[in-house]
């Protein structure tokens, strides 16, 4: 039963707000989108600090995978 709860928990959909990040140099300033992910749920899924991930971009979708 615990395995089912973990499976359900790991497949939760999370909502995040895309934040603005300002990049500036001497001549111009640009606002670019930024997404920050954090929380215990990431470590529960195996995402550990200092490990690497790959990010695959598809139309209106990001896929984040842990590099093993």
- Full 3-state SS string of the chain: CHHHHHHHHHCCCCCCCCEEEEEECCCCEEEEEECCCCCHHHHHCCCCCCCCEEEEEECCEEEEEECC
The per-residue pLDDT for 4 is: 45
Quote the CA–CA distance of 10 and 57 in Å, as a whole number: 21
Domain boundaries, given as residue ranges, for the chain: 2-66
Sequential pLDDT tens for the chain (68 residues) = 344 455 555 578 889 999 999 999 999 999 999 999 999 999 999 999 999 999 999 999 999 999 98
**pTM (predicted TM-score):** 0.69
Residues, the chain:
68
- Torsion sign, CA atoms 7, 67, 62, 30: positive
């Amino acid at each position: 039963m615990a395995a089912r709860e973990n499976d359900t928990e790991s497949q939760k959909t999370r909502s995040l707000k895309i934040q603005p990040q300002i990049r500036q140099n001497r001549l111009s300033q640009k606002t670019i989108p930024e997404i920050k992910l954090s929380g215990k749920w990431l470590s529960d899924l195996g995402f550990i600090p200092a490990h690497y991930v790959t990010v695959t971009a598809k139309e209106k979708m990001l896929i984040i995978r842990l590099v093993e």
